[in-house]
A = this chain, B = another copy of it.
Protein backbone atom coordinates (compact mmCIF):
# COMPACT_ATOMS: atom_id res chain seq x y z
CA UNK A 1 0.00 0.00 0.00
CA UNK A 2 1.55 3.27 -1.08
CA UNK A 3 1.45 5.72 1.76
CA UNK A 4 1.76 9.42 2.10
CA UNK A 5 5.15 10.43 3.33
CA UNK A 6 4.39 13.77 4.89
CA UNK A 7 5.66 14.67 8.31
CA UNK A 8 3.69 13.22 11.18
CA UNK A 9 3.63 13.77 14.91
CA UNK A 10 6.00 10.86 15.41
CA UNK A 11 8.66 12.50 13.23
CA UNK A 12 8.48 15.66 15.27
CA UNK A 13 8.53 13.66 18.48
CA UNK A 14 11.69 11.85 17.44
CA UNK A 15 13.37 15.05 16.31
CA UNK A 16 12.46 16.89 19.49
CA UNK A 17 13.26 13.98 21.77
CA UNK A 18 9.79 13.71 23.30
CA UNK A 19 6.83 11.38 22.93
CA UNK A 20 4.28 11.99 20.20
CA UNK A 21 1.63 12.48 22.83
CA UNK A 22 3.51 15.51 24.05
CA UNK A 23 3.74 16.79 20.50
CA UNK A 24 0.01 16.26 20.11
CA UNK A 25 -0.61 18.34 23.20
CA UNK A 26 1.62 21.15 22.03
CA UNK A 27 0.10 21.23 18.56
CA UNK A 28 -3.36 21.55 20.00
CA UNK A 29 -2.20 24.44 22.12
CA UNK A 30 -3.68 23.40 25.42
CA UNK A 31 -1.72 22.89 28.60
CA UNK A 32 0.38 20.13 30.03
CA UNK A 33 3.87 20.91 28.82
CA UNK A 34 6.71 23.22 29.77
CA UNK A 35 7.67 26.30 27.82
CA UNK A 36 10.97 24.72 26.84
CA UNK A 37 9.23 21.66 25.43
CA UNK A 38 6.74 23.75 23.55
CA UNK A 39 9.44 25.84 21.91
CA UNK A 40 11.45 22.80 20.91
CA UNK A 41 8.41 21.02 19.49
CA UNK A 42 7.16 24.03 17.57
CA UNK A 43 10.61 24.64 16.15
CA UNK A 44 10.85 21.08 14.89
CA UNK A 45 7.30 21.15 13.53
CA UNK A 46 8.17 24.26 11.63
CA UNK A 47 11.44 22.87 10.35
CA UNK A 48 9.82 19.65 9.18
CA UNK A 49 6.90 21.55 7.64
CA UNK A 50 4.34 19.66 9.62
CA UNK A 51 0.84 19.71 8.15
CA UNK A 52 -1.76 18.56 10.67
CA UNK A 53 -3.88 15.63 9.59
CA UNK A 54 -7.42 16.35 10.57
CA UNK A 55 -8.69 13.13 9.10
CA UNK A 56 -6.57 11.16 11.53
CA UNK A 57 -7.49 13.52 14.35
CA UNK A 58 -11.20 13.23 13.64
CA UNK A 59 -10.84 9.48 13.40
CA UNK A 60 -9.04 9.13 16.68
CA UNK A 61 -11.47 11.25 18.62
CA UNK A 62 -15.15 11.97 18.88
CA UNK A 63 -14.91 15.69 19.15
CA UNK A 64 -12.62 17.08 16.55
CA UNK A 65 -14.50 17.13 13.27
CA UNK A 66 -14.50 20.75 12.15
CA UNK A 67 -16.66 20.33 9.08
CA UNK A 68 -20.00 22.13 9.05
CA UNK A 69 -22.58 21.53 6.35
CA UNK A 70 -24.52 24.38 4.77
CA UNK A 71 -27.38 23.70 2.38
CA UNK A 72 -29.28 26.51 0.69
CA UNK A 73 -31.73 26.55 -2.21
CA UNK A 74 -29.16 28.11 -4.56
CA UNK A 75 -26.06 30.25 -4.55
CA UNK A 76 -27.13 32.48 -7.41
CA UNK A 77 -29.54 34.46 -5.29
CA UNK A 78 -28.23 37.68 -3.87
CA UNK A 79 -29.65 37.03 -0.41
CA UNK A 80 -28.30 33.50 -0.18
CA UNK A 81 -24.99 34.77 -1.49
CA UNK A 82 -24.78 37.12 1.46
CA UNK A 83 -25.81 34.41 3.89
CA UNK A 84 -23.23 32.02 2.47
CA UNK A 85 -20.50 34.62 2.54
CA UNK A 86 -21.26 35.52 6.13
CA UNK A 87 -21.53 31.96 7.38
CA UNK A 88 -18.37 30.87 5.64
CA UNK A 89 -16.26 33.74 6.90
CA UNK A 90 -17.56 33.50 10.45
CA UNK A 91 -17.19 29.73 10.65
CA UNK A 92 -13.72 30.04 9.22
CA UNK A 93 -12.80 32.61 11.82
CA UNK A 94 -14.00 30.22 14.51
CA UNK A 95 -11.96 27.32 13.14
CA UNK A 96 -14.53 25.42 11.10
CA UNK A 97 -14.76 24.49 7.44
CA UNK A 98 -17.95 24.92 5.44
CA UNK A 99 -19.17 22.15 3.15
CA UNK A 100 -21.90 23.38 0.86
CA UNK A 101 -24.90 21.95 -0.91
CA UNK A 102 -27.88 23.32 -2.79
CA UNK A 103 -31.30 21.80 -3.22
CA UNK A 104 -33.24 24.25 -5.35
CA UNK A 105 -36.30 23.76 -3.12
CA UNK A 106 -36.33 20.01 -3.73
CA UNK A 107 -36.39 18.35 -0.32
CA UNK A 108 -35.14 15.06 -1.76
CA UNK A 109 -31.98 16.75 -3.04
CA UNK A 110 -31.32 18.09 0.41
CA UNK A 111 -31.64 14.53 1.71
CA UNK A 112 -29.18 13.16 -0.85
CA UNK A 113 -26.69 15.89 -0.03
CA UNK A 114 -27.08 15.27 3.67
CA UNK A 115 -26.44 11.56 3.24
CA UNK A 116 -23.08 12.12 1.62
CA UNK A 117 -22.20 14.81 4.10
CA UNK A 118 -23.18 12.61 7.03
CA UNK A 119 -20.47 10.17 6.01
CA UNK A 120 -18.01 12.88 6.96
CA UNK A 121 -19.44 13.10 10.48
CA UNK A 122 -19.82 16.88 10.43
CA UNK A 123 -19.76 18.87 13.64
CA UNK A 124 -22.98 20.67 12.76
CA UNK A 125 -25.51 21.32 10.03
CA UNK A 126 -27.08 24.53 8.73
CA UNK A 127 -30.15 24.20 6.55
CA UNK A 128 -31.85 27.09 4.80
CA UNK A 129 -35.46 26.12 4.94
CA UNK A 130 -37.82 24.12 7.04
CA UNK A 131 -39.14 21.58 4.59
CA UNK A 132 -37.38 18.25 4.94
CA UNK A 133 -38.13 14.68 4.00
CA UNK A 134 -38.85 12.16 6.76
CA UNK A 135 -35.52 10.47 6.01
CA UNK A 136 -33.73 13.78 6.41
CA UNK A 137 -35.28 14.29 9.80
CA UNK A 138 -34.42 10.78 10.93
CA UNK A 139 -30.85 11.10 9.69
CA UNK A 140 -30.41 14.38 11.51
CA UNK A 141 -31.66 12.73 14.67
CA UNK A 142 -29.25 9.83 14.28
CA UNK A 143 -26.33 12.12 13.58
CA UNK A 144 -26.98 13.80 16.90
CA UNK A 145 -25.17 17.02 16.01
CA UNK A 146 -26.44 20.59 16.31
CA UNK A 147 -28.75 21.60 13.47
CA UNK A 148 -29.75 25.16 12.72
CA UNK A 149 -32.57 25.92 10.34
CA UNK A 150 -32.03 29.26 8.72
CA UNK A 151 -34.34 31.76 7.18
CA UNK A 152 -37.83 30.79 8.19
CA UNK A 153 -39.43 30.68 11.61
CA UNK A 154 -42.89 29.76 10.47
CA UNK A 155 -42.74 26.21 11.84
CA UNK A 156 -41.18 24.58 14.89
CA UNK A 157 -37.44 24.04 14.54
CA UNK A 158 -35.96 20.55 14.45
CA UNK A 159 -33.28 21.72 16.85
CA UNK A 160 -32.36 25.41 16.60
CA UNK A 161 -33.41 28.17 14.25
CA UNK A 162 -32.20 31.58 13.17
CA UNK A 163 -34.45 33.65 10.99
CA UNK A 164 -37.68 35.53 10.84
CA UNK A 165 -41.28 34.96 9.93
CA UNK A 166 -42.01 35.21 6.24
CA UNK A 167 -45.67 35.28 7.09
CA UNK A 168 -45.09 38.42 9.16
CA UNK A 169 -43.11 40.02 6.33
CA UNK A 170 -46.11 39.61 4.07
CA UNK A 171 -48.56 40.63 6.78
CA UNK A 172 -46.69 43.81 7.62
CA UNK A 173 -46.28 44.78 4.00
CA UNK A 174 -49.93 44.02 3.29
CA UNK A 175 -51.04 46.29 6.13
CA UNK A 176 -48.73 49.03 4.90
CA UNK A 177 -49.99 48.85 1.34
CA UNK A 178 -53.61 48.87 2.47
CA UNK A 179 -52.91 51.77 4.81
CA UNK A 180 -51.52 53.74 1.86
CA UNK A 181 -54.98 53.59 0.39
CA UNK A 182 -54.47 50.90 -2.22
CA UNK A 183 -57.56 48.86 -2.90
CA UNK A 184 -56.97 46.70 -5.95
CA UNK A 185 -53.93 44.74 -5.02
CA UNK A 186 -52.18 41.92 -6.83
CA UNK A 187 -49.46 39.46 -5.91
CA UNK A 188 -46.76 38.40 -8.37
CA UNK A 189 -44.88 35.29 -7.27
CA UNK A 190 -42.59 32.55 -8.51
CA UNK A 191 -41.82 28.86 -8.09
CA UNK A 192 -45.49 27.96 -7.78
CA UNK A 193 -46.13 25.17 -5.32
CA UNK A 194 -42.45 24.77 -4.53
CA UNK A 195 -41.18 27.69 -2.52
CA UNK A 196 -42.68 27.52 0.94
CA UNK A 197 -41.25 30.81 2.11
CA UNK A 198 -42.52 32.89 -0.76
CA UNK A 199 -45.81 31.17 -0.12
CA UNK A 200 -45.66 32.15 3.56
CA UNK A 201 -45.18 35.79 2.57
CA UNK A 202 -48.11 35.52 0.23
CA UNK A 203 -50.23 34.03 3.00
CA UNK A 204 -49.27 36.83 5.34
CA UNK A 205 -50.09 39.37 2.68
CA UNK A 206 -53.49 37.80 2.07
CA UNK A 207 -54.15 37.80 5.79
CA UNK A 208 -53.56 41.56 5.82
CA UNK A 209 -55.93 41.94 2.88
CA UNK A 210 -58.57 40.00 4.78
CA UNK A 211 -58.09 42.23 7.83
CA UNK A 212 -58.71 45.27 5.65
CA UNK A 213 -61.66 43.62 3.95
CA UNK A 214 -59.77 43.74 0.69
CA UNK A 215 -59.87 40.51 -1.24
CA UNK A 216 -56.56 39.95 -2.95
CA UNK A 217 -57.73 40.92 -6.39
CA UNK A 218 -55.28 38.96 -8.44
CA UNK A 219 -52.39 36.54 -8.24
CA UNK A 220 -49.85 35.63 -10.84
CA UNK A 221 -47.51 32.91 -9.69
CA UNK A 222 -44.90 31.86 -12.23
CA UNK A 223 -43.40 28.41 -12.20
CA UNK A 224 -39.93 29.78 -12.93
CA UNK A 225 -37.34 30.93 -10.47
CA UNK A 226 -37.63 34.50 -9.35
CA UNK A 227 -35.72 36.82 -11.67
CA UNK A 228 -35.97 40.19 -13.33
CA UNK A 229 -37.51 38.51 -16.33
CA UNK A 230 -40.04 36.57 -14.27
CA UNK A 231 -41.12 39.85 -12.70
CA UNK A 232 -41.33 41.55 -16.05
CA UNK A 233 -43.51 38.86 -17.57
CA UNK A 234 -45.53 38.31 -14.42
CA UNK A 235 -46.46 41.97 -14.41
CA UNK A 236 -47.46 41.85 -18.04
CA UNK A 237 -49.69 38.85 -17.39
CA UNK A 238 -51.37 40.09 -14.25
CA UNK A 239 -52.14 43.49 -15.76
CA UNK A 240 -53.51 41.94 -18.93
CA UNK A 241 -56.04 40.07 -16.84
CA UNK A 242 -56.61 42.81 -14.25
CA UNK A 243 -56.19 46.26 -15.76
CA UNK A 244 -57.53 48.06 -12.71
CA UNK A 245 -54.84 47.06 -10.22
CA UNK A 246 -53.40 49.89 -8.14
CA UNK A 247 -50.66 47.99 -6.31
CA UNK A 248 -48.46 44.93 -6.77
CA UNK A 249 -46.57 42.93 -4.15
CA UNK A 250 -43.76 40.88 -5.56
CA UNK A 251 -42.05 37.68 -4.48
CA UNK A 252 -38.82 39.65 -4.11
CA UNK A 253 -37.01 42.82 -5.14
CA UNK A 254 -35.53 41.24 -8.22
CA UNK A 255 -39.00 40.54 -9.56
CA UNK A 256 -40.22 43.96 -8.42
CA UNK A 257 -37.45 45.63 -10.38
CA UNK A 258 -38.33 43.54 -13.40
CA UNK A 259 -41.93 44.62 -12.92
CA UNK A 260 -40.90 48.26 -12.71
CA UNK A 261 -39.01 47.86 -15.97
CA UNK A 262 -42.24 46.63 -17.56
CA UNK A 263 -44.27 49.47 -16.11
CA UNK A 264 -41.72 52.08 -17.19
CA UNK A 265 -41.63 50.71 -20.67
CA UNK A 266 -45.40 51.02 -20.95
CA UNK A 267 -45.64 54.48 -19.52
CA UNK A 268 -47.36 53.33 -16.37
CA UNK A 269 -46.24 55.61 -13.58
CA UNK A 270 -44.91 53.96 -10.42
CA UNK A 271 -46.78 55.02 -7.29
CA UNK A 272 -49.02 57.45 -9.20
CA UNK A 273 -50.70 54.79 -11.33
CA UNK A 274 -49.64 51.69 -9.48
CA UNK A 275 -47.79 50.93 -6.29
CA UNK A 276 -44.91 48.46 -6.24
CA UNK A 277 -43.57 46.60 -3.22
CA UNK A 278 -40.78 44.04 -3.12
CA UNK A 279 -39.01 41.94 -0.54
CA UNK A 280 -35.37 41.41 0.35
CA UNK A 281 -33.74 44.81 0.35
CA UNK A 282 -31.39 43.99 -2.48
CA UNK A 283 -28.72 46.46 -3.52
CA UNK A 284 -29.87 46.47 -7.13
CA UNK A 285 -32.85 48.49 -6.00
CA UNK A 286 -30.52 51.40 -5.40
CA UNK A 287 -30.49 52.11 -9.13
CA UNK A 288 -34.18 52.95 -9.19
CA UNK A 289 -35.06 56.63 -9.40
CA UNK A 290 -37.22 56.23 -6.32
CA UNK A 291 -36.40 54.09 -3.33
CA UNK A 292 -38.24 50.78 -3.56
CA UNK A 293 -40.83 49.94 -0.94
CA UNK A 294 -39.55 46.64 0.42
CA UNK A 295 -38.60 44.59 3.45
CA UNK A 296 -34.94 44.65 4.36
CA UNK A 297 -33.44 41.29 5.31
CA UNK A 298 -30.16 41.40 7.24
CA UNK A 299 -28.65 38.41 5.50
CA UNK A 300 -25.12 39.02 6.68
CA UNK A 301 -26.18 39.41 10.30
CA UNK A 302 -28.28 36.28 10.04
CA UNK A 303 -25.30 34.27 8.87
CA UNK A 304 -23.09 35.65 11.60
CA UNK A 305 -25.61 34.86 14.31
CA UNK A 306 -26.09 31.35 12.97
CA UNK A 307 -22.36 30.63 12.81
CA UNK A 308 -21.74 31.92 16.30
CA UNK A 309 -24.71 30.12 17.74
CA UNK A 310 -23.58 26.83 16.26
CA UNK A 311 -20.08 27.22 17.63
CA UNK A 312 -21.34 28.26 21.04
CA UNK A 313 -23.39 25.10 21.16
CA UNK A 314 -20.49 23.00 19.93
CA UNK A 315 -18.42 24.34 22.80
CA UNK A 316 -21.05 23.07 25.15
CA UNK A 317 -22.51 26.39 26.20
CA UNK A 318 -26.24 27.00 26.39
CA UNK A 319 -27.96 28.83 23.57
CA UNK A 320 -31.52 29.80 22.82
CA UNK A 321 -33.33 27.44 20.48
CA UNK A 322 -34.70 30.23 18.37
CA UNK A 323 -33.11 33.53 17.42
CA UNK A 324 -35.24 36.07 15.65
CA UNK A 325 -33.49 38.39 13.26
CA UNK A 326 -35.25 41.68 12.82
CA UNK A 327 -36.57 42.54 9.40
CA UNK A 328 -37.48 46.09 8.58
CA UNK A 329 -40.12 47.51 6.31
CA UNK A 330 -38.55 50.17 4.11
CA UNK A 331 -41.37 52.57 3.18
CA UNK A 332 -39.44 53.84 0.17
CA UNK A 333 -41.38 55.78 -2.37
CA UNK A 334 -43.01 53.34 -4.76
CA UNK A 335 -46.32 52.70 -3.00
Contact = CB atoms under 8 A, between A and B. Distances in A.
Interface of A: 1-4, 6, 49, 51-56, 58-59, 61-62, 65-67, 74-78, 81-82, 84-85, 88-89, 92, 95, 97-102, 113, 116-121, 139, 142, 227-229, 232, 254, 257-258, 260-261, 264-265, 283-284, 286-289
Contacts of A118: 51
13 contacts: A3-B62, A4-B62, A49-B142, A55-B120, A74-B85, A75-B85, A92-B113, A97-B116, A97-B120, A98-B99, A232-B286, A232-B287, A261-B289
B53 A286 contact: no
B55 A59 contact: yes
> So how many copies of this chain end up in the complex?
2
Contact of A75 (B53, B81, B113, B139): B81
Contact of A284 (B4, B121, B284): B284
A279 to B, nearest CB: 17
A197 to B, nearest CB: 19
Contacts of A232: 286-287
Given A51-B142, A99-B99, A92 B76 contact: no
A65 B116 CA distance: 12
Contacts of A287: 228, 232, 257-258, 260-261
A120 B88 contact: no
